[in-house]
Structure formats: structure tokens, C-alpha cells
């Protein structure tokens, strides 16, 4: 085993791992698993030119930068689909996200360039030579195993796809509730490690914020269904026990994406929804998404937001198909949104017919 260079960057994908836990690194002698921690050096700069550390600071990287990385899968239509290598004889890996998630790119959007390439130096180990895995360092370990009712009101933000505006909508919900003196907790349950979204919700007033990295997952793409439900349930048990509070949650990507669809089909999730926010990039995407949401999941949102909500023309087109209220997450009226979020949930027959 060898010592690491002093001053190596600790990325947000390894959020749950204490820096002091990493003592040495050793040769790669087996295929990696999700959460395995890699010590490597930047070999070729591509799409990602920086790393986000555990505090949310953005570090510029260069050829020769030494850092910690974490093996994980990524599903990002606007960037890459990437997976963990199945063999152990790889000589380079791709930087799949600024948070330090690495794997091998299977496909990429034409809007991005080739990924930054990392030369592996070895698996990061603890003092006894055991390979560090982020999943062994969960920060969320609820004492209770069963949920007691009534619980905090869940405001769930979902959408048509990546970059539909879900994070901005969730942040707006946090703001509207917090300025009305409501205690708010915020979580992102699925996706790829990135502190930006949950820190934005913290800035808007969330007293506590969290995501799957708090449980040791660098990403959630391709994990088992019981694991994704365990993440949701543990975050629920940790942050949503007070009936007077609100729990604002985001599911990444679109409603047809594997893990998001699993959650939306789960009774454990569906029975917890107090208000459902649906986000889309344009009016036609919103209209089509409403149909899929109803026909596939038997769900009708309480409000529509996302990129489409910033355009009066998109809103006008939407109004021809549904009377579900629309709020502009980038220029939110906190009282109007609070009224939507705080009223009891009910199924509106007119809205069901309209969509």
C-alpha cells in the first residue's frame, strides 16, 4: 500500500466518508462496485473542468490533479450515460459528473464533448487495508424502523426530464413555506451526486437538507428497487416525523426514468404525497406528461412549474388543456404558492377530465 499525495481533493460523491478514514491506496485487483473509492490523477481534460468538494466548493482541475473519485452509474440525457466497469483491467475511467463519480461512458449528448479522463492509481483504503466504500459510511441511521402517523406533509417535485426545472420548483416550494413560518426539510432522493440542488433548498429556508449521498450512494442509477425504497424510507424516518412540518422532495430525471418510475409506483411513496408538483420544459411536454402521469401512474399534480412556467405563451397553451395552476419558480408569488401547498389534498374531477 502507498500513501496519498497531501492536499488531494475530496469530492461530494464521497460526502459520507470522513477524510481521515482514507489512509493509503493499493492496486486494483478486482472489478469495482458502486461506492468503491478510487484514488486517481486527471489525465485528460474534457467536459468537466472542475470538481465539487464536500463543502460545495468548486475546484478547478488540471492535468496531473490528484483526487478521490467514486465508482457509480449515471443517467443524464443532457450529458452521459455511464456505468461501472465490469472488469478490473481498465487503464482509464471517465469523469461522469463534477461531483467525482467515475465509470465508463456508454453514450453522450451531442451537446457535450468527450469526458475528462482519470488515470486510476488504486483503491483508497482504511488503516487495515480494506477498500473504502461510501455505502459503509451512511450518515442516516434512523432509530425507528416504522413510520408513525400523522407525518410531515410531503411536497413531491417530479418532471418530464433532466433540466425540466424540478430543482428550481422545489426551491420555490421551500421558500414559499419558510416565509410563512413553516418548518421545512428538503431532500433529493434520486440522481447523481451534486450538492448544488440541496444547498439551493437550504438557502431558500430548509432547516435540514439531504440526499442519497448522505446514505453513501454516489448515484442511484441501476441500484435495486429495495435500495431505492430504502433511501426514501430512511430519509422519511429521519426528516419527516413532525406532522406540523413540510418535507420537500425531488425525484431526478423524468417520470419514465427507471428509479423515478419505481418510486411513483410504490404505495410507500404514493400514500405519503400531500402535494404533487409536475415540471416541464415546454407546454406540449407538460400536456403529454400529464397524460403519462395519469395513464401510467394514476396521478394528477396539484400544480405545474418548470421551465415552461417562465413563458406566458406556454402558460396560455397549457390553460387550453387544463386548469391545474401554474407557478413560475423563478419569480414566485410566495402567498399564491403557499395557498396551493398548504390546503388539504383532494382529487379534482374537472382537472382529471381536462388532462
DSSP state of 328: -
Same domain, 247 and 198: yes
Q: Across-strand partners of 246?
A: 153, 184
Domain that holds residue 60: 12-133
Same domain, 105 and 74: yes
Question: What does the pLDDT read at residue 353?
Answer: 43
Same domain, 168 and 314: yes
Same domain, 229 and 277: yes
Q: What is the pTM of this model?
A: 0.96
Same domain, 181 and 121: no
The C-alpha cell that represents 137 in the structure block: 459510511
Q: What is the pLDDT of residues 55-68, one digit of tens each?
A: 999 999 999 999 99
Asked if 170 contacts 191 with a C-beta cutoff of 8 angstroms, the reply is no
C-alpha span between 212 and 220 (Å, rounded) = 8
C-alpha span between 46 and 64 (Å, rounded) = 14
Same domain, 206 and 294: yes
User: Is residue 4 in some structural domain?
Assistant: no
Based on the structure, what is the number of domains in the chain? 2
The CATH number given to whatever domain includes residue 222 is 3.40.50.300
DSSP state of 262: H
Question: What does the pLDDT read at residue 348?
Answer: 47
User: Is residue 2 in some structural domain?
Assistant: no
SS3 307: helix
Same domain, 166 and 31: no
Please report which residue ranges of the chain form alpha helices under DSSP H.
166-178, 195-203, 225-239, 258-264, 267-270, 283-297, 312-319, 334-342, 349-354
Q: Which residues of the chain have pLDDT under 70?
A: 346-355
Same domain, 51 and 184: no
Same domain, 176 and 225: yes
User: Is residue 201 in some structural domain?
Assistant: yes
The C-alpha cell that represents 35 in the structure block: 461506492
Question: What does the pLDDT read at residue 204?
Answer: 98
Question: What does the pLDDT read at residue 202?
Answer: 98
Same domain, 314 and 219: yes
Same domain, 48 and 196: no
Amino acid at each position: 500500500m502507498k500513501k496519498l499525495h497531501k492536499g488531494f481533493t475530496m469530492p461530494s460523491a464521497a460526502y459520507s466518508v470522513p477524510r481521515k478514514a482514507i489512509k493509503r491506496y493499493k492496486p486494483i485487483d478486482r472489478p469495482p462496485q458502486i461506492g468503491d473509492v478510487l484514488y486517481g490523477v486527471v489525465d485528460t481534460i474534457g467536459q468537466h473542468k472542475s470538481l465539487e468538494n464536500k463543502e460545495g466548493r468548486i475546484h478547478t482541475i488540471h492535468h496531473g490533479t490528484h483526487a478521490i473519485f467514486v465508482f457509480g452509474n449515471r443517467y443524464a440525457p443532457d450529458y452521459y450515460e455511464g456505468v461501472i466497469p465490469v472488469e478490473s483491467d481498465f487503464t482509464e475511467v471517465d469523469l461522469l459528473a463534477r461531483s467525482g463519480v467515475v465509470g465508463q461512458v456508454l453514450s453522450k449528448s451531442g451537446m457535450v464533448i468527450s469526458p475528462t479522463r482519470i488515470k486510476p492509481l488504486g483503491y483508497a483504503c482504511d488503516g487495515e487495508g480494506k477498500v473504502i466504500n461510501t455505502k459503509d459510511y451512511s450518515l442516516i441511521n434512523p432509530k425507528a424502523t416504522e413510520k408513525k402517523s400523522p407525518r410531515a406533509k410531503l411536497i413531491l417535485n417530479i418532471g418530464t426530464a433532466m433540466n425540466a426545472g424540478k430543482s428550481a420548483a422545489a426551491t420555490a416550494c421551500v421558500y414559499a413555506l419558510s416565509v410563512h413560518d413553516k418548518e421545512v426539510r428538503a431532500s433529493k432522493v434520486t440522481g447523481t451526486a451534486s450538492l448544488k440542488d440541496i444547498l439551493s433548498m437550504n438557502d431558500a429556508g430548509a432547516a435540514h437538507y439531504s440526499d442519497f449521498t448522505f446514505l453513501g450512494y454516489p448515484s442511484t442509477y441501476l441500484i435495486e428497487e429495495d435500495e431505492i425504497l430504502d433511501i426514501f424510507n430512511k430519509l422519511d424516518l429521519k426528516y419527516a416525523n413532525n406532522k406540523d412540518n413540510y418535507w420537500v422532495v425531488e425525484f431526478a430525471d423524468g417520470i419514465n426514468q427507471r428509479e423515478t418510475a419505481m418510486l411513483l409506483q410504490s404505495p410507500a411513496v404514493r400514500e405519503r404525497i400531500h402535494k404533487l408538483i409536475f415540471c416541464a420544459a415546454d407546454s406540449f411536454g407538460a400536456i403529454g406528461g400529464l397524460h403519462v402521469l395519469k395513464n401510467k401512474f394514476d396521478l394528477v399534480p396539484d400544480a405545474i412549474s418548470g421551465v415552461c412556467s417562465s413563458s406566458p405563451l406556454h402558460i396560455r397553451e397549457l390553460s387550453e388543456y387544463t386548469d391545474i395552476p401554474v407557478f413560475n419558480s423563478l419569480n414566485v408569488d410566495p402567498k399564491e404558492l403557499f395557498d396551493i401547498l398548504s390546503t388539504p389534498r383532494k382529487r379534482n374531477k374537472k382537472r382529471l377530465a381536462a388532462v
